[in-house]
Chain A
Amino acid sequence: MLRTHAPPSQDLFDVAIIGAGVVGCAVARRFALAGARVVLIEKGSDILSGASKANSAILHTGFDAPPGSLELDLIKAGRAEYLDIRAGLNLPLVTTGALVCAWNEMEAGKLEAIAAQGRANGITALKLMTGAQARTTMPGLSERLVAAIEVEDEHVIDPWTAPLAYLTQAVALGARFLRQAELVEGRFAGEWTLSTSTGDVRALSVVNAAGLFGDVVDRRLGFAPEFEIRPRKGQFVVLDKAAFAHVPRIVLPVPTEITKGVVVCPTAFGNVLVGPTAEEQDDRVRATVETETLEALLERGAQIVPALRAMPVTAVYAGLRPASESKAYRIFTRPEQRAITLGGIRSTGLSAALGLAQHALSLHRAFDAPPLVPVEPPPVALPNLAETRERDWQTPDHGEIVCHCEMVTRREIEAALASDVPPGDFGGLKRRTRAGMGRCQGFYCNARLAQMTKGRLATALAVGDGEGS
């Protein structure tokens, strides 16, 4: 059965974090390293069940972030910490660089200002290029390219292993991870009592990192609403690994007021991503893909890199970004109630998560709470899934290869199932191992995975016995 822990109502935690997205996982790690007793409360059956599971996996520099904004500071701090800790946690960095591409004269006219803003933001490795110059660094780009800015330090990471590493490190320090625990109500009376769908949790402080439900959670904690989440859907297409050779760099569009726009981007896993769209919607739960939108994304991708037209689609997905009525991060601190809200983390959450965690800890220092005594980071190394580095199948004694498209070994799958933060659902297993993520999407391995995961996932792959608890 899925390991759900009964809430430890007898324990008093220093901090309770609501939401196990990339931000919540990073905050759990930061507070655990600071010496806090941490509990992470998640309503889904696994980490990254909401906005964090669908992003473009870019580690941003912040070159296009609003100048002087907190967002810019936190992107830079988060990025710096990622680069600092990634080797220790065995996390990849694919040093692709990015090209901000102008496809007409009007867009080209905006590049100068974008570059100036980038430099003002402290990102100096920026170069204005003609279309022809840019194409020498990436010959696959369409000849229609007019001009570009090269941003050398925009990179690609593994967007799922990174947050898993953060939480794994927190858990190694004794943090508790409660799944399928939805916050119903929080009451503050000197300490917090958080009623969840599986029982009460007591904590001195609370951090709201609930992403798409950030405003809802603030209300359930008894706060007057300071912001409103307005979900923005993004659909993505993932193209076959054969496309990777044509897309060595991140291809960014000239952004508009509303969105960073459709990106063509290599992934750490050797695929190519085209997306996201930016679609306002009211629904906070459903993130559907739509045939016409996917077709339009494929067309857009092929306009940018013509060789993509012939590439089969490996995967499609959609995610919701927790946008709000403002472009800025919606961060609030309430020292009297020892509560912090990290809201409206729209599209830079992956880059800024570690920075947001540092920021939350610094806000917490102003709280009337027992001082925390930092501890040594425990050694934690995650399995590598990036194609740019050695994978398990390349080393002996892995048992056998179960997923042939992504070359996932039996040893990797068994290790994920037995890990300190095991997958709670099939999506979680896929994100931890890549099993079933490849071009056949489980044609060959899905049945085997059904058998290997019997009784372990919230929704079993097979019906009948093995159905989740």
Chain B
Amino acid sequence: MSATADVIIVGGGPAGVAAAMELRRRGAGKVVLLEREPELGGATRHCSHSPFGMREFGRVYFGAAYGRRLAREAADAGVDIRTGHSVARFHGGGRLEVASAHGVETLTARRVMIATGARERPRSDRLISGDRPIGIVTTGTLQSYVAFHGLMPFRRPVIVGSELVSLSAILTCLTHGARPLALLESEPHMLAPAPFAWFPRMAGVPVHLGTRILDIRGTGRVEAIRFRRQDGVEETIPCDGVLLTGRFTPEAALFRQSEIGVDSASAGPAIDQDGRTLDPLCFASGNLLRAVETGGWAYREGRAVARALALDLAHEPVPSAPTAVTFEAPVKLVVPSLLRRQGSGEPAFRDFQLRFTHRVHGRLSLEIDGREVWAQTRTFFPERRVLVPIPEGASAAGSVRFRFREPG
């Protein structure tokens, strides 16, 4: 059976579209882009507040306009765009089972790139106590209410979480007739960096740090949320919604349900420095790798992995067995978490991306074959990227290890 395409890309957000265009630019032949929604753009479609496109297109777009620009560019580049196409199953080895309004078909390609992005974790996965009434939603859901349907899920929500996205959530509320009553954060400090961290209070939203949610009440719709404050006092706020923000997780179901599996730390597929997964015919890029970065970051990552993929197509190298990058808590994840012996080209990733589980002060170091090649002592924050250059020659190493030590 002849392949449907040279490369099939799954996911029409910034990473997938950038990859598709780059592949076409590098003469990759037939490039098919599958997107399950009716439009390209991914999460940028409903992010009505964040500006996109400055680095990619030299101008600023909001929400859906960015997706339309992506669609135009990709079509001009000769990408075969198939919206409304949902991948039901990824078999590895370049085979995909794809569902659309016409039914189910099996598509094949010489290489597959998966760029399915990330989403916020739902209430269930956060194991929050209480009833399960209507009105508990994530920022992404709230913004699709507003952006696609002109609806609102609540008028007086309590916001949970203080990552950067919570500020976007507050703005969406304030500009669409909802009044956030409070922001609850379980950590003892705001997760968004200053000066953003000051925004909720400036917008008149009381902030409670170091809280624990005890109960959500409501029979039909949310009626109240009860939580324990840092000082131990329990407080109940009557409200009509709970807005769960942040705690992004890769949308990695295709990997979880395939032989390839996911990396237990990042919850996305393990990749090497070229974005290649454990299946040498499958690449991955964008927020799927480690949850959320900006659209622009995902775009550049998609393009970089596409460059490596194009070389891979041209040379057909047999990839070596990967070396796993090892680390321990409080390092939460490292991407890429695999290294393979390098071919001729430049790798897609020049840096390891690290994140920490919580705020810590100490010394982070990188050891290659038992020799320290890099170190830094400072305070590390949760959900903020740390970049460590991948040393020359690391891909040939037998062991690559991150260490962390607290002082004293």
Mark A residues whose CB is within 8 Å of B.
238, 240-242, 285-291, 294-295, 310, 312-317, 393-401, 404-405, 407, 425-426, 439-444, 446-448, 450-451, 458-464, 466, 468
By beta carbon, the residue of chain B nearest A295 is B127
Using Cβ atoms and an 8 Å threshold, which residues of chain B touch A400? 38, 84, 101
Using Cβ atoms and an 8 Å threshold, which residues of chain B touch A463? 152-155, 240
Contact: A242 with B137, CB < 8 Å?
A: no
Using Cβ atoms and an 8 Å threshold, which residues of chain A touch B122? 439-443
The answer to whether residues A398 and B132 also contact, given A443-B140, A450-B153 and a CB cut-off of 8 A, is: no
Q: Which residues of B from 32 to 72 have beta carbons under 8 Å from A?
A: 36, 38
Q: Which residues of B from 147 to 173 have beta carbons under 8 Å from A?
A: 148-149, 151-155
Contact: B119 with A444, CB < 8 Å?
A: yes
Q: Count how many pairs of residues, one from A and one from B, have CB atoms less than 8 Å apart in the complex.
A: 136
Contact: B145 with A450, CB < 8 Å?
A: yes
Nearest 4 interchain pairs by C-beta: A441-B122, A459-B220, A462-B151, A242-B256
The answer to whether residues A442 and B153 also contact, given A288-B130, A407-B86 and a CB cut-off of 8 A, is: no
Bound Cα distance A446, B63 (Å): 19
Flag whether B221 is at the interface (Cβ < 8 A): yes
Flag whether B285 is at the interface (Cβ < 8 A): no
**Interface size of B in residues (CB-CB distance below 8 Å):** 49
Using Cβ atoms and an 8 Å threshold, which residues of chain B touch A394? 99, 103-104
Contact: B124 with A313, CB < 8 Å?
A: yes
Flag whether B395 is at the interface (Cβ < 8 A): no
Report which of A287, A291, A442 forms a contact with B137, defined as CB distance below 8 A: A442
User: Min CB distance, A262 to chain B, in Å?
Assistant: 16
Report which of A285, A401, A447, A464 forms a contact with B141, defined as CB distance below 8 A: A447
Contact: B129 with A291, CB < 8 Å?
A: yes
Mark B residues whose CB is within 8 Å of A.
36, 38, 84, 86, 88, 99, 101-104, 119-120, 122-125, 127-134, 137-138, 140-141, 144-145, 148-149, 151-155, 215, 219-221, 240, 249, 251, 253, 256-257, 264, 267
Contact: A289 with B132, CB < 8 Å?
A: yes
Contact: A314 with B99, CB < 8 Å?
A: no
The answer to whether residues A407 and B148 also contact, given A317-B132, A441-B124 and a CB cut-off of 8 A, is: no
Report which of A310, A393, A399, A451 forms a contact with B264, defined as CB distance below 8 A: A310
Bound Cα distance A289, B145 (Å): 27
Using Cβ atoms and an 8 Å threshold, which residues of chain A touch B151? 447, 450-451, 461-462, 464, 466
Contact: B124 with A401, CB < 8 Å?
A: no
Using Cβ atoms and an 8 Å threshold, which residues of chain B touch A468? 220
The answer to whether residues A401 and B36 also contact, given A442-B137, A463-B154 and a CB cut-off of 8 A, is: yes
Bound Cα distance A399, B99 (Å): 11
Bound Cα distance A442, B136 (Å): 10
Report which of A286, A289, A294, A459 forms a contact with B134, defined as CB distance below 8 A: A459
Q: A288-B215, A291-B129 are in contact. List 18 more A-B contacts (CB 8 A).
A: A242-B253, A288-B129, A291-B127, A313-B124, A313-B127, A393-B99, A398-B101, A400-B101, A405-B253, A439-B253, A440-B119, A440-B122, A442-B137, A446-B153, A450-B149, A459-B221, A460-B134, A462-B145
What are 22 A-B pairs with beta-carbon distances under 8 A?
A289-B127, A289-B130, A291-B128, A310-B264, A312-B249, A317-B132, A393-B99, A401-B36, A401-B84, A407-B88, A441-B123, A441-B124, A443-B122, A443-B138, A447-B144, A447-B151, A448-B148, A459-B133, A462-B145, A462-B153, A463-B240, A466-B151
Q: Give the one of A238, A240, A400 with max B CB within 10 A.
A: A400
Bound Cα distance A71, B199 (Å): 61
User: Min CB distance, B352 to chain A, in Å?
Assistant: 23
Bound Cα distance A39, B104 (Å): 43
Using Cβ atoms and an 8 Å threshold, which residues of chain A touch B141? 442-443, 446-447
Bound Cα distance A393, B99 (Å): 7
Contact: A447 with B119, CB < 8 Å?
A: no
Q: Give the one of A291, A396, A405, A466 with max B CB within 10 A.
A: A291
User: Min CB distance, B350 to chain A, in Å?
Assistant: 30
Bound Cα distance A446, B134 (Å): 11
Contact: A447 with B149, CB < 8 Å?
A: yes
Using Cβ atoms and an 8 Å threshold, which residues of chain B touch A404? 36, 86
By beta carbon, the residue of chain B nearest A458 is B220
User: Min CB distance, A296 to chain B, in Å?
Assistant: 11
User: Min CB distance, A43 to chain B, in Å?
Assistant: 12
Using Cβ atoms and an 8 Å threshold, which residues of chain B touch A439? 122, 253
Bound Cα distance A367, B198 (Å): 74
User: Min CB distance, A288 to chain B, in Å?
Assistant: 5
Bound Cα distance A287, B129 (Å): 11
User: Min CB distance, A85 to chain B, in Å?
Assistant: 30
Using Cβ atoms and an 8 Å threshold, which residues of chain B touch A426? 134
User: Min CB distance, A140 to chain B, in Å?
Assistant: 15
Contact: A314 with B86, CB < 8 Å?
A: no
Contact: A397 with B221, CB < 8 Å?
A: no
User: Min CB distance, A283 to chain B, in Å?
Assistant: 11
Report which of A401, A440, A451 forms a contact with B99, defined as CB distance below 8 A: A401
By beta carbon, the residue of chain B nearest A397 is B101
Contact: A447 with B148, CB < 8 Å?
A: yes
Bound Cα distance A122, B257 (Å): 39
